[in-house]
Structure formats: C-alpha cells, structure tokens
A and B are shown apart, each in its own frame.
Chain A
Amino acid sequence: MNHSNASQVEPLKQIEMPVLLFASLKDAAGSDQIMVRLSYPSATPMTVQDFLAQCGQQYPAIAAWLPHVRVAVNCTYADAQQTLTPGDEIALLPPVSGGTL
C-alpha cells in the first residue's frame, strides 16, 4: 500500500471562537455568548459559510435561526464568502427592528 497520498492531506487546524448572540437568538441559546469549535484545512481560510455550518451542528438550539441571521465580523456585516481570522469578533444578528415607523 502506498500512503503517500494520505501524507499530502492537509492537516486540520482547530480553533475555538467566541460568538456574540442577541435578542431572540440569545433567548434561544440561553446565553449572550457561545464558543464555537472550528476545524478547517490549515491552508484554506475558514469562511463565514463554513463557520455557520459548524455552528449549527454544535448548537442545535439555534440551528433553525441560522438561515435568517446576518453575520457581523468586527462590527461590520459580512457575506458568506468572507474569511475569518482567529481573534475576529463574530456576532449573529437576527433581523433588526430598531427605530419606530
């Protein structure tokens, strides 16, 4: 058996990131912050989309909300393809309802 292919598989990087929760999401999780364990190939940056998938697996209580939330990275709205860096401040934002019409 030749195992050379296996040795070329990228090692997985594992990090744990705090994620801020608000409003209905905070109530559903019972906390204003959760820790999400992320594992991803070390040569490939983790995207917001990857993060949401792993977040939903680890926290079934909030999984149903995830298709409806917007993700903020460092206080700025992020799209699905934006990459994450350890140390980023991640927040999950339910639809906003500020102000008054």
Chain B
Amino acid sequence: MIAVVEHELSVNDVVQWVETETNGGAGAVVTFLGIVRNNSQGHKIQYLEYSAYKPMAEREMQRIADEVRERWNFPCTIVHRVGRLEIGEASVVIAVASPHRGAAFEACHYAIDRVKQTVPVWKKEVAVDGFWWVDDPMAGPLQESSQQLDVAL
C-alpha cells in the first residue's frame, strides 16, 4: 500500500495492511506518524501546504518499501498526504510489521529517513508573519502573507 492522497490518513488501514501481508507471522507492528507542528524556527505556524510530484513520489515510496523488504524481509507501507494540513494533522504514515519489535523499529526509522531524502514532496509553512517553502535554497526575506496584512489592518 503506497499512495499520495488528499484525504485524512488512517493508521488503522496501514497497520491492517502490513499485518495481513505477514499472514499472521507478525509479532510487532511499528508505525510512524508525521504531524503538523504549530511552530517552526521561532514562527507561529498557521497551517502547512504539501505538494508532490505524485507519480514520482509514489515510485520513490515504493522503492523505499522494496528496500525494507529486501533488507529485513518485512512488509512496509507508506502513505503521504498533500494539500492543506492543519496543526496536529498527519502528513505521512508508515507501518512496518515483523516477527519481533527491535528490527521493526529499525526498519521504520530507516523508511522515514529515506522518505525525507528522496520522495519529491514539498512543504510550505504558512505562519502568522509570512510563508515559505521549507529547504528552499533561494529563500529570501519573509514573504508577506495576506493573513498578516489582514491582522495589521
């Protein structure tokens, strides 16, 4: 189960999926949930906008799940959400099932680190004092947001 979606993520769905894949052989399922934080580098965040190069993002996520399968022989599922996300909402969910817990934590950690490195998904932080793309190499001074102008007026 690999997908880029525009709706709310379900932890239950991914857990069920990896558990089923093991045909009852799972003794542990480890999940990772990335959620939207209300602050970033001293700015109060209002919401985030995620965008993706969808076909390539799904391909890269499949590649990561395949790497987990090759390295640990565990099923791994990754679902990423795009669009506008409010504080506390989940942007990415990963689940790994395995016979024992130790290696499942390790594999899940590996998967989220790889997601951050290679999956073409971008995050725009919208704060009360401006907005910016995270890790934008050309990021200059804060761009004024209309929200801030509204507040100022």
- Listed in ascending order, the chain A residues whose CB lies under 8 Å from chain B are 20, 22-24, 27-28, 64-65, 68, 72, 75-77, 91, 93-101
Contacts and interface: CB of A to CB of B under 8 A. Distances in A.
Contacts of A97: 116, 121-123, 133-135
Contacts of A28: 138
Contacts of A64: 138
Residue of A22, A96, A98, A101 ringed by the most chain B CB atoms within 10 A: A98
Contacts of A98: 50, 52, 57, 80, 91-92, 115-116, 119-123
B153 to A, nearest CB: 24
Contact of A93 (B92, B120, B134): B120
Interface stretch (B15-23, B33-41, B144-152): B33-41
B122 A68 contact: no
B135 A75 contact: no
17 contacts: A23-B51, A23-B124, A28-B138, A72-B120, A75-B53, A75-B56, A91-B53, A91-B56, A96-B116, A96-B122, A97-B134, A98-B50, A98-B91, A98-B115, A98-B119, A99-B80, A99-B92
Interface of B: 34-37, 50-53, 55-57, 59, 80, 91-92, 112, 115-124, 133-139
Q: From B119, B120, B123, name the one whose CB has the most chain A CB atoms within 10 angstroms.
A: B120
Contacts of A65: 137-138
A65 B135 CA distance: 12
A22 B119 CA distance: 13
A96 B120 contact: yes
Given A76-B59, A96-B117, A96-B118, A68 B137 contact: yes
A99 B115 contact: yes
Contact of A100 (B37, B51, B118, B135): B37
A28 B139 CA distance: 11
A20 B52 contact: no
A71 B36 CA distance: 28
Contacts of A76: 56, 59
B56 A68 contact: no
Nearest to B80: A98
A94 B135 contact: yes
Nearest to A72: B56
A99 B133 contact: no
B91 A93 contact: no
